[in-house]
Amino acid sequence: MTISLDGRVAVVTGAGRGLGRAYALALAARGARVVVNDLGTDPDGRGRDASPAERVVAEIRAAGGTAVADASDVADPDAGAAIVELALADFGRIDVLVNNAGIFGNQPFSASTLADFERYWRIHLGGHVNTSSAAWSHMIAQGGGRIVMTESAAGLYGLPGQATYAAAKGAVHGLMRTLALEGAEHGI
């Protein structure tokens, strides 16, 4: 049985490469109209390049799907809201939000400062909060939706050299569990 997402709208953050790209392509292949968000940084969060999101949009369109690119920074609350507003402006709704954007790097705890932790929290947890918060009221108004959060085994079990990343992903896990409980009565 094939899942049809015809008429649905999905936003995927961090969709220019890797898992995010795979999520965006899979949603589009099932008929969803997709907002492909990617700031286009290096894996460690440096730089900025809109072309990864644009390439995924071109792939989706070449396969007969519908998509738009967005290079907003999910860590910025205004940009998180702008990503959702783009979905509403271009497609009229938001049914699926896949929070996938994040950074990764090796840094032992002994070499980590609170500022390093804050950087990971801002991108991973803050990005998830910013986009989910922007989508939440729209999903309630339309009677439901789906929010997917990409976490990591590092956040559940730990990983040497990854204290900053693991702490941020652990926070994402707690956020996801709480939103599942609060969203249940609204079909989210």
Using one digit for the tens of pLDDT, what is the confidence trace for 62-106? 999 999 999 999 999 999 999 999 999 999 999 999 999 999 888
46, 8 contact by CB (below 8 A): no
CA 147 to CA 33: how far, in whole Å? 16
Q: Which residue has the higher pLDDT, 43 or 57?
A: 57
* Alpha helices in the chain, H assignment, sequence order: 18-29, 51-62, 77-91, 114-141, 153-157, 163-183
The distance between the two most distant Cα atoms of the chain, rounded to a whole number of Å, is 50
CA 126 to CA 76: how far, in whole Å? 8
Among residues 140, 143, 173, which one has the least CA distance to residue 156? 173
The number of beta carbons lying within 10 Å of the beta carbon of residue 84 is: 23
Question: What pTM did the predictor assign?
Answer: 0.94
CA 68 to CA 66: how far, in whole Å? 7
Where in the sequence numbering do the catalytic residues fall? 165
Among residues 110, 128, 106, which one has the least CA distance to residue 11? 128
102-144 residue pLDDT tens: 998 888 999 999 999 999 999 999 999 999 999 999 999 999 9
164-184 residue pLDDT tens: 999 999 999 999 999 999 999
Rg (CA), the chain: 16
